[in-house]
């Protein structure tokens, strides 16, 4: 009888164990393997979900130099840190608390949270969806008092994507140091790829201060030097003589001039009782004799371009520069840009209620008067010349494919323009800081154009411009510099460009 009961007992125990095992399996399916089950339980306060913050992706420069970091924060999901402070302020930008629009936005795969800092400006904003991480979750069982009892499961957070940029900290530092104490902009790119190597606006701001101190933004906004203003893309200025190669190229393409066209520099051009002098005559009392298109660019001869402007008229002058990216907003995918002013008779009548005069055309022919463009637009046009007519849109992400297009330009005409710009940075030209340019004992040919543009008030010092590409025969870098009210382009802007080129070519 004892063995009989022992057998029945064993069977009963087995049935109980099997039932228990099935119950455990079902429970596991509904718990460990089913977050929706936790969600339902959490709604009844049986299980609590605790979010685990996901680190934001960080930025690196082209040489894997870390440009941003994350720190722990009690107030936010993370705290962004900018170890270079002002250096990358206008390009990387900064983060801030999300707006109502950010919180409602469903563009990104992961929605923003109210205590999460999101990209507000610059590349932080542009790459927000990729930088934003996926938060994790802890599922914790609680008692009736809401106290945590047991951690049941954890979904680990996923860090946002790290971004590797085309920017070069060596060039960025060189630009910042050379522009120190000045108001201006530096842009450096590779014309064959569109990669942005340096992007600096001066003065700058410290994004770290904006994050940590609420009043910092207001202080920057009230600063008369406008450190929040991005001069690279938003500042517009008369281009002065840096526009002359484009006028010459447009006139060559239209057949208005050719390589045999000669203009005599008489020092002063008399038009309707008004005298318009060449800069060289006005400063030194000297004339430059017979001037062809190459010499006109090399010497920045105003008489040649006055004559060209009179021949073509304001409509032709504007159409020529529009062919070569003036009027474009080439950084639109990244930054808000101020539209350029490309004036003509209709524009002047609408703006001032006055007709267009011949004197307006003459001023326009040397990049003065009402013509206003940004450093980015000047840079784009010179990049087109440097690349032989190939336009590669600007890009900041390293490894991104270049989506270049080719513009048909007569190669002989391009060669004349490039020869003029090469001569401008050779003995006898206007870009004297780059004469006989060498780095570490190696000679490097530079093609350039200087510009000195009167401000609209004509009371303050003129704006200083300089734009160049190198090596002249096979360019891999274009540098454009603007210094607000800096003085002469050759004396003020050219040394800044040289500092950037030095950093680029130094191994």
CA distance 263 to 260: 10
Q: How far is CA 440 from the centre of its chain?
A: 30
Cα 496–chain centre separation: 18
* Domain locations along the chain: 48-164, 169-505
Rg (CA), the chain: 32
Confidence of residue 35 (pLDDT cuts 50, 70, 90): low
> 169-505, what's its fold?
Beta-lactamase (3.40.710)
Mean pLDDT for the stretch of residues 295-300: 98
What's the pLDDT at 460?
84
Return d(Cα 501, Cα 170) in angstroms, integer: 10
Bridge partners of residue 79, in order along the sequence: 71
Q: What is the pLDDT of residues 189-202, one digit of tens each?
A: 999 999 999 999 99
Tens digit of pLDDT for each residue in 75-101?
Answer: 666 889 999 999 999 999 999 888 777
pLDDT at 21: 60
Average pLDDT, the chain: 90
Cα separation, 268 vs 274, in Å, equals 10
User: What is the pLDDT averaged over residues 106-130?
Assistant: 86
* Region for residue 106 given its phi and psi (left: phi exceeds 0; alpha: psi -120 to 50; beta: otherwise): alpha
Rounded to whole angstroms, the Cα distance separating 414 from 167 reads 29
Lowest mean pLDDT among 206-220, 266-280, 403-417, 478-492: 206-220
CA 90, CA 165: separation in Å to the nearest integer?
14
* Structure tokens belonging to residue 252: 């060559």
pTM: 0.88
Q: What is the per-residue pLDDT for 18?
A: 66
Lowest mean pLDDT among 138-147, 167-176, 225-234, 445-454: 138-147
Residue 36 pLDDT level (bands cut at 50, 70, 90): low
What was the pLDDT predicted at 5? 47
Cα-based angle 273, 276, 487 (whole degrees, multiple of 5):
145
Considering only 34-48, 124-138, 426-440, 480-494, which range has the smallest mean pLDDT? 34-48
**Mean pLDDT, residues 141-153 taken together:** 74
> Could you tell me the pLDDT band of residue 39, with boundaries at 50, 70 and 90?
low
Q: DSSP for 144-161? A: TT--EEEEEEEE--BPPP
User: Would you identify the CATH topology of the domain 48-164?
Assistant: Penicillin-binding protein 2a (Domain 2) (3.90.1310)
Query: Would you place residue 20 in the very low, low, confident or very high pLDDT band (cuts 50, 70, 90)?
Result: low
What pLDDT is attached to residue 228?
97
* pLDDT higher than threshold 50 for residue 2: no
Across 380-407, average pLDDT: 95
Q: Which residues contact 391 (CB under 8 A, 6 or more apart)?
A: 325, 380, 383, 384, 404, 405, 406, 407
| Structure-block tokens of residue 416 | 């004349």
């Amino acid at each position: 009888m004892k063995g009989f009961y022992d057998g029945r007992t064993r069977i009963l125990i087995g049935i109980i164990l099997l039932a228990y095992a099935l119950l455990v399996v079902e429970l596991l399916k509904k718990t460990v393997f089913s977050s929706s089950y936790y969600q339902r339980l959490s709604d009844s306060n049986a299980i609590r979900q605790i979010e685990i913050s996901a680190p934001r992706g960080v930025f690196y420069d082209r040489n894997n130099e870390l440009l941003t970091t994350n720190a722990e924060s009690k107030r936010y999901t993370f705290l962004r840190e900018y170890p270079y402070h002002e250096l990358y302020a206008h390009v990387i930008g900064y983060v801030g608390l999300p707006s109502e629009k950010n919180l409602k936005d469903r563009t990104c795969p992961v929605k923003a949270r109210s205590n999460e800092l999101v990209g507000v400006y610059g590349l932080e904003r542009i790459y927000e969806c990729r930088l934003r991480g996926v938060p994790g979750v802890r599922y914790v069982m609680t008692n009736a008092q809401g106290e945590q009892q047991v951690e049941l499961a954890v979904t680990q957070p996923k860090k946002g994507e790290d971004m590797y940029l085309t920017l070069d900290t060596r060039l960025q530092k060189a630009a910042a140091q050379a522009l120190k104490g000045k108001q201006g902009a530096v842009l450096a790119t590779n014309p064959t790829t569109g990669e942005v190597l340096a992007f600096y606006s001066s003065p700058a701001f410290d994004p770290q201060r904006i994050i940590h101190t609420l009043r910092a933004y207001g202080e920057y906004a009230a600063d008369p030097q406008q450190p929040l203003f991005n001069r690279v893309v938003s500042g517009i200025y008369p281009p002065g003589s840096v526009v002359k190669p484009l006028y010459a190229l447009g006139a060559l393409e239209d057949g208005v001039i050719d390589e045999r066209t000669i203009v005599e520099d008489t020092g002063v051009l008399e038009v309707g009782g008004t005298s318009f002098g060449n800069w060289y005559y006005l400063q030194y009392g000297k004339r430059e004799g017979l001037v062809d298109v190459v010499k006109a660019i090399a010497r920045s001869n105003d008489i040649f371009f006055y004559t060209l402007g009179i021949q073509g008229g304001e409509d032709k002058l504007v159409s020529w520069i529009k062919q070569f990216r003036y009027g474009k907003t080439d950084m639109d995918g990244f930054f808000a840009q101020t539209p350029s002013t490309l004036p003509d008779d209709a524009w002047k009548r609408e703006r001032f209620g006055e007709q267009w005069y011949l004197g307006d055309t003459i001023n326009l022919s040397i990049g003065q008067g009402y013509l206003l463009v940004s450093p980015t637009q000047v840079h784009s046009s010179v990049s087109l010349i440097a690349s032989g007519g190939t336009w590669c849109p600007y890009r900041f992400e390293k490894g991104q494919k270049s989506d270049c297009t080719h513009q048909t330009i007569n190669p002989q005409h391009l060669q004349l323009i490039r020869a003029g710009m090469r001569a401008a940075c050779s003995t006898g030209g206007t870009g004297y800081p780059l004469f006989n340019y060498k780095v570490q004992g190696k000679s490097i040919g530079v093609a350039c154009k200087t510009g000195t543009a009167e401000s609209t008030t004509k009371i303050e010092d003129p704006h200083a411009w300089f734009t160049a590409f190198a090596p002249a025969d096979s360019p891999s870098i274009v540098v454009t510099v603007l210094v607000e009210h800096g003085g002469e382009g050759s004396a003020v802007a050219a040394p800044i460009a040289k500092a950037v080129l030095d950093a680029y070519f130094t191994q």
